[in-house]
Amino acid sequence: MTFSFHARASRRDILRAAAAGAATLSFGSHAQSGWPTKPVTMIVPFPAGGGTDAFARPLSAQFAKLTGKQLIIDNRGGAGGTLGASIAARAQPDGYTLFMGAVHHTIAPSMYPKLDYDIEKDFVPLALMANVPQVLVVNPRNLPFPDFKAYLEAVRKAPGKYNYGSAGAGTSHHLAGELFKQQTKTFITHIPYRGAGPALNDTVAGQVPMSFDNLPSALPFIQQKRLIPIVVAAPQRLAVLPDVPTFKEVGLEPVNRMAYYGILGPKGLPKEVVDKVSAGVKKSLEDPAVRKRIEDTGSLIIANTPEQFTAQIKAEFEVYKKVVDGAKLKLD
C-alpha cells in the first residue's frame, strides 16, 4: 500500500489503496508501529571519507526528506569493517539501528576465526544499493607508468619492491590485491589502513606507491590527476574512466569482481521494518539527483529485494573464501 510520507492515512485511504492494488511501502508509512517515530542511526563501519560515505550520505539526505526524521551516520572504522559490524549486530532489533554492509563483511568470516558475529546469522539483509567497481590506482610520481602493461612488467621484475595500500586487512581491496598477485604471479606487499580515506591519502602523499580501492572514494583523486587509474574491475569500460581497461580486458577475468554496498539490520528486525526499508531504499534510488550522484562515481545501482541480496551475500562468501584459503590468510 502507498501512504503519505507525513500524514496518517485514513481507513478510507487505506482501503482505496488496497483496492487499487498498490503494494509499495515508503520509509514514512504509518502502518502498525508507525516506524520511524524518531531518528534512526546507521552504522557505517569505515572512517568518514571512504567509499561507503558515497552511499550513506545521499541516503541520509533522502531519508530525512521522505520521513521527516533524521538518519544519523555513525562512522565506526577499524578491523577491516568488523568493529562496526560487531556493534551493529548487538543493537536492538527495533529498526532504529541500521548497518551499511559491504562485500568486506562476506570476506571477514574467512579471515577472522574469532569474530563475535556471523554476517549470515546475526543480520537481516534489507536492500542492496549498488555494485561498485574496484580500481588499481598509482601515484604518478612513484609509478609513472603509461599503461597496465608497463606497470605489470615493472612489478614482475622487482618482487617485493612495491607496496600497495588498502582500506584494511580482510577488505575487498586487500583481497583484490591478493587475487591479483595469484593471477599474475607477482609479489607486492600489502599495507593495511583503517579505511579507504587514510589509504588514499598516503598513496597521494607517496607513502605507498599504489592502492586497490573502490572507485567512488578514489575518483576525486583521479579527476584531480593526483592518482592514475591503471585498471578497473567492472562489466565494461566506465563512462567516467573511458580510457581505463577492465581486468577482463587485460586477461585477468577472475580479478574482475565488483564490490557491493547494502543496508542490513540486526537479526529479529520486524518484517514491517524490513519491507519499509527495502522499498524506501528503492524509492530513494529512483530520485534523479540521488541516481546521478551515485552513477557519477561509476557505480551500478541495483536496489534489489532482501531475498536477492541474501543470495548475493552467500555467493560472494564462497568466492572470497577460496581466495583467502588459496593465499593462506588469517587474522586474529
3-state helix/strand/coil string of 144-188: CCCCHHHHHHHHHHCCCCCEEEECCCCCHHHHHHHHHHHHHCCCC
Of 299, 230, 226, 310, nearest to 53 by C-alpha is: 299
Counting the structural domains of the chain, the total is 2
Q: What pLDDT is stored for residue 86 in this prediction?
A: 95
% of the chain exceeding 90 in pLDDT: 62
117: left (phi over 0), alpha (psi -120 to 50) or beta: beta
Instruction: For 260-311, write each residue's pLDDT tens digit.
Output: 999 999 999 999 999 999 998 999 999 999 999 888 888 999 988 999 999 9
- The CATH code of the domain that includes 65 is 3.40.190.150
Q: What are phi and psi of 124, to 5 degrees?
A: -115, 115
pTM of the model: 0.76
Element (H, E) at 53: helix 53-67
**According to the 3-state scheme, what is the secondary structure of 183-238?**
HHCCCCEEEECCCHHHHHHHHHHCCCCEEEEEHHHHHHHHHCCCCEEEEEECCCCE
Residues 214-255 pLDDT 10s = 998 899 999 999 999 999 999 999 999 999 999 999 999 999
Question: What does the pLDDT read at residue 22?
Answer: 34
pLDDT tens for 78-99 read 777 889 999 999 999 999 999 9
**Sign, CA torsion 251/133/222/185:** negative
Q: How many residues does the chain have?
A: 332
Query: Cα 45 to the chain's mean position, in Å?
Result: 10
Report the alpha-carbon distance of residue 306 to residue 112 in Å, rounded.
Answer: 26
Within a domain: 332:
no
Between CA 63 and CA 17 the distance in angstroms is: 23
250 and 141: one domain? yes
98 plus 160 within the same structural domain: no
pLDDT averaged over the chain?
Answer: 86
Same domain, 32 and 99: yes
Span 151-183, pLDDT tens digits: 999 999 999 999 999 988 888 899 999 999 999
For residue 332, what pLDDT is reported?
A: 62
Is residue 2 domain-resident?
Answer: no
Residues 221 and 271 in one domain: no
Instruction: Write down which residue in 255, 276, 296 finishes a domain.
Output: 255
